Amino acid sequence: MAEGNGDKTLRKIAEAFKDLANVVTDSQSAEVKVSPFSHACSLVSPLFGCLGVAFKFAEMDYVAKSLIELDVQANTVRKGGSHTRNLLRVKRGLDMVRVLFEQILVTEGNSLRNPASKAYEQVFAPHHGWAIRKAVSVGMYVLPTKEQLLKKLNEDEASAKGHMQSYVTASALLIQYIDKLFVSRDLGIDW
């Protein structure tokens, strides 16, 4: 993301996830399609780059409900590289951004260290070993400030807050939808 290019990343993220949330809430039997889900996730991934080294582990892959079925049939759900495993990781990345945005919205000051630490501890730390947790902890000291992040995203604080809140609301619905996909197949979400 080049600074000053007029690209409103947060607005695009908020709109894409709002559209996905509408699909999920419009019908009990709604299915999120791969293409719009992939597109929405691709909009989120640059945030990890903006946050720097602390979140380099948060790479995202994209899948849909039908791909979970293929993994279930092939008995490869928990196998490294499976669509189901990748979807679980994507969901965690989306959830981490949701918690990060929630924390930014309620935290005073210019530091992202506390919001990012809380987001990491809540979403990823339970699934990471000591070495990754330690690396993330060290990386927290080189996070950009909130002002620097907003500048990279070409946002002012007022517009960013609205877009962050929109993402928090919409992504919560999508995360709940993905959790239901796992729970309805007795796959669990804590692995």
Q: What is the pLDDT of residues 25-42, one digit of tens each?
A: 876 666 888 788 888 888
CATH of 9-183 among 3.10.20.340, 3.30.70.1150, 1.10.3520.10, 3.40.640.10: 1.10.3520.10
Provide the 10 A C-beta neighbour count for residue 29.
5
Q: Measure the CA–CA gap between 87 and 36, rounded to whole angstroms.
A: 14
Half-sphere exposure of 127 (CA within 13 A, CB side): 15
pLDDT in tens, 157-184: 999 999 999 999 999 999 998 998 888 8
What is the pTM assigned to this prediction? 0.79
What is the token pair recorded at 15?
């709109």
Q: Given this model, what pLDDT does residue 64 score?
A: 43
Q: Given this model, what pLDDT does residue 56 score?
A: 53
Q: Given this model, what pLDDT does residue 44 score?
A: 85
Q: Given this model, what pLDDT does residue 185 score?
A: 86
